[in-house]
Amino acid sequence: MNDVLLIAVFALVGAAGAGLAGAVVLRLVRHRSVAVSLAVVAAVTVTAMLAGTLAVAQAMFLSAHDLWVVTVVVAMAALVSMATALVLGRWVVARSRALTRAARDFGEGGGFCAPAGTATAELAALTRELASTSARLDASRRRERALEASRRELVAWISHDLRTPLAGLRAMAEALEDGMAADPGRYHRQIRTEVDRLTGMVTDLFELSRIHAGALTLSPIRMSVYDLVGDALSGADPLAREHGVRLVGEDVAAVPVEVDGKEMTRVLANLLVNAIRHTPADGTVAVAAERREGAVVVSVTDGCGGIPAEDLPRVFDTGWRGAEARTPPAGAGLGLAIVRGIVEAHAGSAEVRNVPGGCRFEVSLPTAAG
């Protein structure tokens, strides 16, 4: 037993010396190719075995012939280990370089295409992560392009909508200043109307900027959808009477929700105003609310005749106003964008779809806990 322990100690000392030398070499080549590191690891393994063997041989006074035999055996093992390490290293390096080329193309704005062939578990995991990141960035680029197009469209619409009332205000102000207005009172009323219109546009722009900047602060309280819809219908009733449109809100369930009453009233008001303006005289705008799969769905159905299928995905985009027939006499196409922003701030969603004779806007909100 003492002889075995002594052999183990001599073998450990010899192998430890080789291992320490190998660790120093690995630190020096840590910035080199992985193939070099694998070759060093293989060399350290064989050298540790040889050093331990030589230490034991010297301690046990083996014959020169036996020592030579052991050395030859270790040398053959070293050759096989080095060859295997080099082949494995070249394969890993080739896969790494292929992945680097694919990542370079991905970084230049293209899509990530995973290199063909098998790979180690780590490289395969890295490939999957790069593919996932590429998909997210591609979606982000599409959203950015859509947002940029929406911004350009908004600027164009705002420029157009501001130019007309400002030109009118200037003309009326000059007429009043020169004493050329036959009915000053009518001019004053028209100026007040145009100023209210511009004020509404500026208010919508400010609200939308708060939504996009994430600065919309909500103060949710527990309230009934029935009361929320009732208040919105009362506020929209004068406009509906002016346009000869009937408002129907009988199918509204008294479901509790936790929302910011002021902001959600604005949401319903925007939807109702939009529906009334696009519904012909003697038409009907119906409001309904129901519980559906853990959410409260409030819908506003109008008689606009429907929205073209290609325009449906853009209805809630900033500045979208669709075809000329659906363009309102006032506003800058911000109402529905504000609707979506406020609803999403409440962890809800806003959708639209065509129904016979018109379209239906649906707002889904989480039901109140308890």
Q: Quick: pLDDT tens for 29-53.
A: 766 666 677 777 777 777 777 777 7
pLDDT at residue 261, rounded to an integer: 87
| DSSP state for residue 330 in the 8-state scheme | S
**pLDDT class of 360 with cuts at 50, 70, 90:** very high
User: Which of 151-155, 189-193, 210-214, 279-283 has the lowest average pLDDT?
Assistant: 151-155
Q: What's the pLDDT score for residue 149?
A: 75
Calpha distance 48→294 (Å, rounded): 67
Q: Does the structure show a pLDDT above 90 at 166?
A: no
Residue 1 has pLDDT above 60, yes or no: no
> What is the reported pLDDT for 6?
64
List, as one string, the DSSP characters of 226-283: HHHHHHHHHHHHHHHHHHT-EEE---B---EEEE-HHHHHHHHHHHHHHHHHTSPTT-
Burial zone of 137 (CB within 10 Å; 0-12 exposed, 13-18 middle, 19+ buried): middle
Q: How confident is the model at residue 321 (pLDDT cuts 50, 70, 90)?
A: low
Cβ-based burial of 144 (10 A; exposed 0-12, middle 13-18, buried ≥19): exposed
Axis-axis angle for helices 34-60, 2-28 (nearest 10): 150
Query: How crowded is residue 33: how many other Cβ atoms within 10 Å of its Cβ?
Result: 15
d(CA 271, CA 246): 15
The whole-angstrom separation of Cα 90 and Cα 83 is 11
pLDDT at 208: 78
pLDDT on residue 326: 41
pLDDT number for residue 331 = 47
Mean pLDDT on 303-315: 86
How many whole angstroms separate alpha carbon 206 and alpha carbon 210?
6
Single-letter residue type at 318 = T
Average pLDDT along the chain: 78
Q: What are the tokens at 197?
A: 């219109």
Out of 109-113, 157-161, 330-334, pick the least confident: 330-334
How far is C-alpha 94 from the geometric centre of its chain's CA atoms? Answer: 34
The pLDDT confidence band at residue 2, using thresholds 50, 70 and 90, is low
**Paired sense of beta strands 246-248 and 221-224, if any:** unpaired
Token pair, residue 141, equals: 């680029």
**Does residue 327 surpass a pLDDT of 50?**
no
Who contacts 20 (Cβ-Cβ below 8 Å, separation ≥6)?
A: none
200-231 residue pLDDT tens = 778 878 887 787 777 788 888 898 888 888 88
pTM of the predicted model as reported, rounded to 2 decimal places: 0.57
- DSSP 8-state class, residue 181: -
Each as own residue / partner, the long-range contacts of residues 166-171 (CB below 8 Å, 24 or more positions apart, any chain) are 166/198, 168/194, 169/194, 169/195
What pLDDT, on the 0 to 100 scale, is given for residue 300?
Answer: 93
Residue at 123: amino acid letter: L
- Give the containing element (helix H, strand E) for 364: strand 358-366
Give, as one character, the DSSP assignment of residue 325.
Answer: G
Residue 328 has pLDDT above 60, yes or no: no
pLDDT the model gives residue 45: 73
Q: What is the pLDDT of residue 107?
A: 56
Closest C-alpha to 338, from 321, 313, 317: 317
Percentage of the residues of the chain whose pLDDT score is greater than 70: 80
